[in-house]
Structure 1
Amino acid sequence: MRVFFVVFFFFTFNKDFVTSVVSCCPAELKQEINGKKETVKGFNVKLQDTILFPEGGGQPDDHGLIGDIPVLRVTRLGPEAVHFVCSSLQEGQQVHVKVDWERRFDHMQQHSGQHLITALADTMFGYKTTSWELGRQRSTIELDTPCVKPNQLQALEEAVNEKIRSQTPVTVQLLSIDDPAVRSRGLPEDHAGPIRIIDIEGVDANMCCGTHVSNLSHLQVIKLLGTEKGKKNKTNLLFLAGNRVLKYTEKSFNTERSLVSLLKTGPDDHVEAVDKLQKSVKLLQKTNLNILRDMAVLIAQNFKNNPQRGNFFSFHKKEGDNEFMNIIANEINTEETLVFLTVGEEKGPGLFLLAGPSGPVAELGPRVLEMLQGKGAGKNGRFQGKANSLSRREEVEAFLQQHCTHHTSEEE
């Protein structure tokens, strides 16, 4: 078998390739599917050669096809690439390998963009890169500085885009590990074969195993989105390169167009319009809260003024919160009356409060909690919490009413 990394160096721009299967073994892959981690059963396949890049150097792996079988993951095992697929392949079988070019070219743009930004941040300001991450939507470079000033950010963006406009070549050098120019620090222990150097002409020459463009003009444009505070006095620089800038621009424009329709104002007035809406919402919420408080008092007083009232009071309202329920309970003499209150959707989740004499509340609270499939706790004559479902509310009410009736008959 030829050494994977030697061959792959020359295949960055190859989109498909014919090779043969060396081995195929049963395997499992842990994947995140719809936000949940699941284990997928499949096979680990080694090929004579490959054009699919395994994850490494801060860059995610390639995806693609072996024949018509999707490659879900590519990892490195020493000098070899291991392809995870869901269907088995015959050893010795000739196969057609095809790379997911959109994903590959995106990774090339982001990775070469990172090299360029890293080099110029160091040259212009002395800010060293300590790590980087090629994210799904945006990429991050960790700079060894507590802050990057706005004027520095602007100057850096102008400088990287000038290099792109200058059509600066990017070349690959293969050096022996014994070559004096090679810095072996950071190499994996299982590295095999020559060392790959990515050379951005007149800008930077750096050891890297990842995929890159052959000319900075392929990056199209780089947008520095801004900075965030990093760990240990470092700064995270967020950026987009190439097609991601175009997609971000399209998405931003569509969002802007939707806001124009919703807010009935031009883009320049969106911030002011949203600020006014937020203030209006806060005012309405405050007004609504005052109304709910007054309503809670009236509900309690109406019960207290009823000459035929018993020793049990139950009430439900779709709109409300814990304060609304507690005001009602505070207005009613819960030393003599058992109070059961709920707020929320009648058949959905909500909040509940059971208030009354401390003995019965402590006894009945856990049962109410169980019936409402909720979480909560109680003390000093109050038991309250969240209900997963209020669909059994009437059943809880009947249960509490029965308890009160039984307790009253015992006293008589």
Structure 2
Amino acid sequence: MLFQMSAECFSSQFVTSVVSCCPADLKQEVNGKKETLKGFNVKLQDTILFPEGGGQPDDHGLIGDVPVLRVTRQGAEAIHFVRSSLEEGQEVQLKVDWERRFDHMQQHSGQHLITALADTMFGYKTTSWELGRQRSSIELDTPCVKPAELQALEEAVNEKIRAHVPVTVQLLSIDDPAVEKVRSRGLPDDHAGPIRIIDIEGVDANMCCGTHVSNLSHLQVIKLLGTEKGKKSKTNLIFLTGNRVLKYAEKSYSTERSLENTQSCHENAFLWQSNLSLLRDMAVLIAQNFKNSPQRGNFFSLHKKEGDNEFMNIIANEIGTEETLVFLTVGEEKGPGLFLLAGPSGVVTEMGPRVLEMLQGKGAGKNGRFQGKANSLARRGDVEAFLQEHCKHHASEEE
């Protein structure tokens, strides 16, 4: 069985069959303690689950309803560790843990972009990299990176993201002369099959087995957090890409809010202004995240404890509501709050009063916007289901 992690990194489901299932152990660390799990190593006829390699962690997902806890590579074969036995020869459906997959795609493509421009702009070569659980790092072959260089590099990578540069995959034979022209740190000794090249148009061509986005716009944004002293006169560059930037902004906002109670009035005013700015930036990132998602639909829903009407309107404006129905709420999860329903004018006019009733609120609507105050957000889930059902019905009518 050859592992076929082809150019289609956006596949989230796949039907295949079980080739073999053998008893096996998995050693892993849980809450700082090492433990050994009893289970099975499964080989499949083909797979869309990426095995750990090239600095990228493995995919997780399901084989049928059985969770895949680890995927490793043995030559050209992918080995899936599961806790339950699977029958050899049976047909199964694979499902990828998409949130984990897309996060890895963003971080890995972000690393390629940063690596390429750090080399082009300053001659700093990448000697290794690590995709961490919360942040990622690139080891650069230089004793230091100046603050001005860091700022210039961050501006340059984000300019490429805004330019919507395509990212493509090429499969070349090992004796193809083109292989000599691409960036590479060498092939593993047990490599088999064609050479896989990740090409960021006009920026970089690199030998790589990992999963990547198909356009730099899917990265949303890159934030270079700073540098740390590395080993042997090298520097570790710490970065976040895509959804991780959004989570970092949310965490920073919550931290600043928690500090307000311990600050003076003057300091509180400064923090309040900082929080407003951070909240606006977060709204833009949330909208970009939805717009750039390859699995976006015609409905977007979000609840945040912190926020205001401007926060919700920024999200709606950035997404664009001519064809997308947007439902946003802020406030206590089951208490009072604010809401916004935005979308095609006719749909909002029709659905707005029903949403208002379910949220026990007060509000009004015009020009494709219906917003107001909710006395209780306890039925928010019911409103979301009601709106989703309408979107599905509307989509089926158009088909």
Scaled by the length of structure 2, the TM-score of the pair is: 0.65
CA distance in 1, matches of 2:202, 2:7: 22
1:155 aligns with 2:152: yes
What does residue 211 of structure 2 align with?
211
What does residue 74 of structure 2 align with?
77
Deviation at 1:185, TM superposition (A): 5.8
What does residue 175 of structure 2 align with?
178
What does residue 191 of structure 2 align with?
191
- The answer to whether the 8 A contact 2:198-2:206 is kept is yes
Deviation at 1:182, TM superposition (A): 1.6
Q: 2:12 aligns with which of 15, 36, 40?
A: 15
Output aligned runs, 1:164-313, within 5 Å.
Answer: 164-183=161-180, 186-265=186-265, 266=267
Instruction: Specify the code of the residue in structure 1 equivalent to 2:165.
Output: T
- RMSD value over aligned CA atoms? 1.3
CA distance in 1, matches of 2:154, 2:256: 24
- The answer to whether the 8 A contact 2:25-2:36 is kept is yes
Q: 1:143 aligns with which of 140, 143, 150?
A: 140
CA distance 1:150–1:166, shift in 2 (3 Å): same
Spell out, residue by residue over 1:47-104, the C-alpha distance to the aligned partner (whole angstroms, 9 max, x if none): 0010100000000000000011110000001101000000000000010100000000
SS of corresponding position for 1:168? coil
CA distance 1:151–1:111, shift in 2 (3 Å): same
1:98 aligns with 2:95: yes
CA distance in 2, matches of 1:23, 1:143: 42
What does residue 89 of structure 1 align with?
86
Instruction: Specify the code of the residue in structure 2 equivalent to 1:66.
Output: I
Instruction: Specify the code of the residue in structure 2 equivalent to 1:141.
Output: I
- The answer to whether the 8 A contact 1:132-1:141 is kept is yes
1:28 aligns with 2:25: yes
Instruction: Specify the code of the residue in structure 1 equivalent to 2:248.
Output: Y
CA distance 1:240–1:64, shift in 2 (3 Å): same
SS of corresponding position for 2:179? coil
- The answer to whether the 8 A contact 1:74-1:81 is kept is yes
CA distance in 1, matches of 2:15, 2:94: 6
Deviation at 1:189, TM superposition (A): 1.1
CA distance in 1, matches of 2:178, 2:200: 16
CA distance in 2, matches of 1:140, 1:173: 26
Spell out, residue by residue over 1:194-244, the C-alpha distance to the aligned partner (whole angstroms, 9 max, x if none): 000000000000000000000000000000000011111111100000000
Q: 1:111 aligns with which of 103, 108, 111?
A: 108
SS of corresponding position for 2:171? strand
CA distance in 2, matches of 1:145, 1:59: 23
Instruction: Specify the code of the residue in structure 2 equivalent to 1:76.
Output: R
Q: Structure 2: where are the runs of 5+ without partners? A: 272-399
Instruction: Specify the code of the residue in structure 2 equivalent to 1:68.
Output: D
CA distance 1:259–1:23, shift in 2 (3 Å): same
- The answer to whether the 8 A contact 1:256-1:267 is kept is no
Larger Rg: 1
CA distance 1:267–1:171, shift in 2 (3 Å): farther
SS of corresponding position for 2:260? helix
Q: 1:132 aligns with which of 123, 129, 132?
A: 129
- The answer to whether the 8 A contact 1:110-1:241 is kept is yes
CA distance 1:10–1:123, shift in 2 (3 Å): closer
Deviation at 1:186, TM superposition (A): 1.6
CA distance in 2, matches of 1:267, 1:73: 47
Deviation at 1:264, TM superposition (A): 4.8
SS of corresponding position for 1:156? helix
* Count of residues paired in the alignment: 267
CA distance in 2, matches of 1:19, 1:268: 59
Deviation at 1:261, TM superposition (A): 2.3
